[in-house]
Structure 1
């Protein structure tokens, strides 16, 4: 694999470089965050190993900038900042994994291998379709058989969730978590109410139903 190590501590960098090169990897090393930004954008790497506390540009800002530039190289933070909030910050910034110093080289190697085996991210879809139903995610527009359907924001989110999972049953719990960000049962019929409203707009005016109830399980959309 071709790897990029972004680490300003010489002792740690030499240790990691030696171990990775012994395993047969090609490893580039940069000690400054700002220099690393250009290197990461110019190079084609399988995995990046990034320290958080870097001169020039800190690791979080570096990874955020790369993600904003659509550089999606799998990234593992290797850092002394090991609190729960630190790990959350790293993952929310665009990191794929987080390993705290001091660390075992074998674990770092295994995590790098796991990241490299992940499938490459797919291009973000901008148009969803099920039968004659179309959803334009850029224009936030829904049509069926060429007729525009006016949806409220929560109805749009619910329909998008179902369309992205065409043919797969979505339970009430799944929908609460995905659409309402609720991880407990609020003991209300909010899901059923919104599904009913969505059907009234998406299915009722047309000659066949797309949004189906799977008795005892949940809902799915199928054309």
Structure 2
């Protein structure tokens, strides 16, 4: 299993990253400062480090410098509140693979993580998922009904991904908000309802079939069996 080390001292953001990376199937370890990060990497080497630059004691630049000095070539994605070009250049020159400036979209962060891992740890393409008349290609963000591509927004696809990869499990509105929206967004439970309604319409539920069930007025569940089909 791909192991990711998150180095972030802001508790709410750290938990958001841990939740979303864990949802994607990664093994995640989180620490809040530079020295614990170096210790964690030495004890259990990660396949990728998500590294905040602004840490309380040993900052991200120092962590990155220490990693490269000890010849640890682990890929590093920098998170920074700094927008200055000099900081970005310094991070990349020290050996970072990519960076994101806060505030950022969780969807974008996940895309950056996957892109870095594809470059550094090439693996076979994941299988397709099928459910009823639908086919889902998660790496390509593609969903089809029969042979017709569904015109989904990134947010709708993210919600769909959460539901189909945990078919039969009820996700509360709060959980969907945490998994599908970025930390600095201010969505409400009603926002989830609106997106689910749009998703249902695009799936064709207005034609009689029901794929997403509302459970007890509290959350949503994908009701059809999901099968893995190797490519």
Runs of 4+ aligned structure 1 residues displaced above 3 Å come to: none
CA distance in 2, matches of 1:100, 1:119: 22
In the alignment, is the contact (CA less than 8 A) between 2:75 and 2:120 conserved in 1? Answer: no
Structure 1 length normalisation: TM-score? 0.52
CA distance in 1, matches of 2:55, 2:65: 14
Offset, 1:82:
1.8
Task: Render the CA deviation track for 1:131-186: whole Å, top value 9, x for unaligned.
Answer: xxxxxxxxxxxxxxxxxxxxxxxxxxxxxxxxxxxxxxxxxxxxxxxxxxxxxxxx
CA distance in 2, matches of 1:46, 1:104: 22
| 2:127 is the counterpart of 1:94 | no
Aligned to 2:28: 27
Count residues in correspondence: 120
Structure 2 length normalisation: TM-score? 0.50
Aligned to 2:152: none
5+ residue gaps, structure 1, are 121-223
5+ residue gaps, structure 2, are 122-231
Larger RCO (alpha carbons 8 Å, 6+ apart): 2
Alignment of 1:65-144 (within 5 A): 65-119=66-120
CA distance in 1, matches of 2:120, 2:14: 28
Aligned to 1:64: 65
CA distance in 1, matches of 2:51, 2:120: 21
The higher radius of gyration belongs to 1
CA distance in 1, matches of 2:24, 2:110: 9
Aligned to 2:128: none
